[in-house]
A and B are shown apart, each in its own frame.
Chain A
């Protein structure tokens, strides 16, 4: 184990050091506040605060909140408290740009608050070289990544988002789930609402004259959209992105992802109150936009990671893609099968299907077909709007 950090002689003391550590964690993307710092200090009074092992375990319990945090905690702890006996220059680090998980949309949170071209907050703070900023990027770049960066704000206009918002709202309303097990009061219910009956009967001297009923309410389904923005989809991306943006703005439970050669979560970026700024943040995330497509890999990644957390029996997975895949079609089939196992419904909207005489010739598409609940054409907003009756039937 490396030696404990030495703090400068004029260091104000343990409280300041702990606050410094919290700031250090915060800089590395953990969401911690004063409350945690206070709790951390209190926790240290219950353990041997001079034993690094005790402190490590204690602060881990206080500061982490999910598995990803736990995995990173050790390194962050070492970096702050165990930097080989060197003297720490500053106890409390100055505010630096937050470096966060590259694949998460959170990292665009602080960036591009101005309406400028968008300075991405990749770890080295340099958006011009996405391949260097992201370990995965290098491999990708050699295969198909388009170096050309498109600004999505050139593609999508705010008026379109407003239109798309209306369509998305109607589609969301069409997707209703009828399986809620929690009953709510309703005039035409199938069960007696005892609580209400008793309350009302008091007014009539204990004679229950009116039987209040309750029934299962209809619940909206959660919609998860996976939008393909590879080269072959560039022409349609405009419509689809507007649609996704509209969807995110109407439905607070909706979730959205982009994929080309890799998968990026865009839900948080798109929730930005300012529609244009949301697209700006999206552009930062969508490095490689217009490049090759790896549908199979992206969907497998989705099924193995995000789907475990966000996809359940009350979810509709909406895939917007032309199905032209550079991967093995079997991979795509397997990924969809895995996804399907989570109990969700899968809808695939394919812009090419709209063409006269189109058959799902793309091999990827053929492999996907058996797992789909609905396979429909869509390449304009009107097409999407026309889906409403289909979705009601699902």
Chain B
């Protein structure tokens, strides 16, 4: 599959990728390298993984990172409660120590977490490691090891080697600076807020029944809103919510009713000071320009 074909296929699944992103995804698939996607919140980084799993018709395994994420949540954990019960039952049955040990540290008592799960599938799944910059440096280092060897060592069971190599997508939005080592291991694509034409295509792909005039106005409005000095710029998800809100309210023209427009800004502006700064006058001016 060429990267153009991939781009078209993604578009059919409802994801409009620009050339850079399509090429990066194509290379990640062709070279079997992890892909690091960076960009502001709400530009559709996570969505890439979802679309890719639909395209390849495989499972999407997601690992949401957070501060303090540890091996027990990311890789594997023993089912302690079952182990305890089993040990007690065994002692009553008179089972010997060695056989109990072999039994309670077997696959049956192992709880798979996303990383382990992703390397033990029959078909290569899409492994999404979301917001990697939220996890701490130690986890990042561990992840590097897994991403290079695709094997996990469990002391009680031995080394588990990957049956298939997952397609790995990492996302980051700059909470913390990632290490050079991780960056070097991955292909990289920066996902920016889309161009007008791209965003319009996204809107039309997602809201099929939207009218051309309103769609154009919405995109014009949101794009000029991003140029304002905001604390949190509206992403694509917000834009889609905004469009859905307007359509739900039966609005056909943005400039039609200032009060309704102001109320529906709740879908775009998510902090108090942003709401305060975009007054009715500012919103009307932007809407007027977009019309």
Q: Which residues of A contact B (CB under 8 A)?
A: 31, 33, 35-36, 39, 42-43, 46-48, 53-54, 57-58, 60-62, 64-67, 69-70, 180-182, 194-195, 197-198, 201-202, 205-206, 208, 308-310, 312
Give a binary string over B143-186; 1 marks a CB under 8 Å from any A CB, 0 the rest.
Answer: 00000000000000000000000000000001111001001100
B87–A46 CB distance below 8 A: no
From B20-28, B212-220, B258-266, the one touching the partner chain is B20-28
A35–B70 CB distance below 8 A: no
Partner of A67, one of B66, B70, B190: B190
Please provide the chain B residues from 177 to 217 with a CB less than 8 Å away from any CB of chain A in the complex.
177, 180, 183-184, 187-190
With known contacts A57-B20, A60-B20, A182-B70, A198–B177 Cβ distance under 8 A: no
Q: Which residues of B contact A (CB under 8 A)?
A: 2-3, 19-20, 22-24, 26-28, 30-31, 33, 38, 66-70, 78, 80, 83-84, 87-88, 90-91, 97, 100-101, 104, 136, 174-177, 180, 183-184, 187-190
- CB-CB under 8 A from A35, the residues of chain B are 184
Residue of B87, B97, B174 with most chain A CB atoms under a 10 A cut-off: B87
Partner of B188, one of A61, A201, A208: A61
| A interface: dominant SS | helix
- CB-CB under 8 A from B31, the residues of chain A are 39, 42-43, 46
A66–B183 CB distance below 8 A: yes
B91–A206 CB distance below 8 A: yes
A180 CA / B67 CA spacing, docked (Å): 8
A62–B27 CB distance below 8 A: yes
A46 CA / B136 CA spacing, docked (Å): 35
B90–A206 CB distance below 8 A: yes
B38–A61 CB distance below 8 A: no
A64 CA / B38 CA spacing, docked (Å): 12
Q: Show 28 A/B contacts (Cβ-Cβ < 8 Å), sorted by A.
A: A31-B184, A46-B26, A46-B30, A46-B31, A47-B27, A48-B2, A54-B3, A57-B19, A57-B22, A57-B24, A58-B23, A61-B20, A61-B28, A61-B188, A65-B183, A66-B38, A66-B190, A67-B38, A181-B66, A182-B136, A197-B80, A198-B84, A198-B104, A202-B100, A206-B88, A206-B91, A309-B176, A310-B176
